[in-house]
Structure 1
């Protein structure tokens, strides 16, 4: 590691607000409205279609494999049937319209600011170092055109960085021997992941066995529920994140430490506005 290459903690700190800025669109009313306008009204169907559309009219097996922690039976209720209602191209266009409306609503004038243009430039520059091999969700999205508007270009770049890290994160989870529910439990053990109610929902990779398996993980010391005693799951998660950092280092090495710090600063400012607008539902955060 050179003196200009950011350390893992800086990479992770940068990725977090960039990732969450992109992800917030899927929880937004604008996303539901735009997909609903196509006839896709079920929230799960909208989410699966919205994230998978770049891969084409795929079925439940592809989505279960690339999303990692969603229950195959639930996905199969909606895919491939959703493509009879809306084509992948229509879904991608609706998703971009939702992103446009959402970002303009939550950021106001900042959506067209010089800071937004700078963030888009930095994030796109980082994404140029992403690799397609063994990264199916990233590779599919990398074939999409970059929008012209800076706030959409930044959202698009955030998507590329999110899916690139997400793809290699699955490699790290598999290497650690974690199944879908265990991956969720270990994340929640750090205090950063989804709330238990979200992890044990019908959509979780464990399906209806989520709650008893969560309790089993807690009994095994994975998660204690106490802030100062996170349990074995948090330590295991840190190993997974370090592995992911190594596999996802190239985009941030391309930027260099100073520009990673600048992108982090800008991204955290945008995310603060998104969070203040109540973009993340309580089923994910556990907060009401």
Structure 2
């Protein structure tokens, strides 16, 4: 079977650190081209400054991975889907729920695969955590997701603009995990969003959710953490406590602790290949819906200006 010819659109840090190595390590794909108006591309790989130029001038591609900021992703995805090209959407899948729904309908109409790639769901501890929780009663959940924005997103102005999500850019990773592992749906009860006075998106947030059986779920998000970073999910159940740490890579349950190597993006590309070969899409918007609810219902607090 011929490999899937894929182009990476948007050659920023996430593309170079994660997407390109994952593509190189998956025999189902061959990197056909890169696209970026600012990055020079890779030696020996055709490069274009825009997706339209690639589609008009070649080389031919079967799929694109959109690693651009979410605010500009809809038009790129629609352009590719119009030509029947499969589309991988980096997280979050779009700037709004409505545009992702429109893309999903378009993909169905043309018979192309659309994949919303929640990379944290492919962290090593997530699948076994989901299986363990399926047989337990969840009593309480606590999420602490604190990191240093200057380390992970230096100089990325788009992330502070409307649609860039601010601290929900990493926070949505935690939401992608808990919407996947918790056995019951949950919804937002209250939220406080802390915005620097010079930014349009929050630098911190406190959220309170409740699942459909009444179990409370708290989430503490902060982009001002220095020193050790915190990416922890603690689930108290009738059979003891489960903890996912290091973003889901380490799972601790009453019977012991499991440590595994990172395979998030290889897992994503394995899933993308399976979807393409099977003629299916996977566009879960639950994590983005919860973020939208936080902006809809959250109380705003203004804090001191933030500067990189």
User: If the length of structure 2 is used for normalisation, what is the TM-score?
Assistant: 0.27
Which structure shows the higher helix fraction? Answer: 1
User: If the length of structure 1 is used for normalisation, what is the TM-score?
Assistant: 0.29
Which structure shows the higher strand fraction? Answer: 2
Greater Rg, structure 1 or structure 2?
Answer: 2
Bigger relative contact order (CA 8 A; separation at least 6): 1
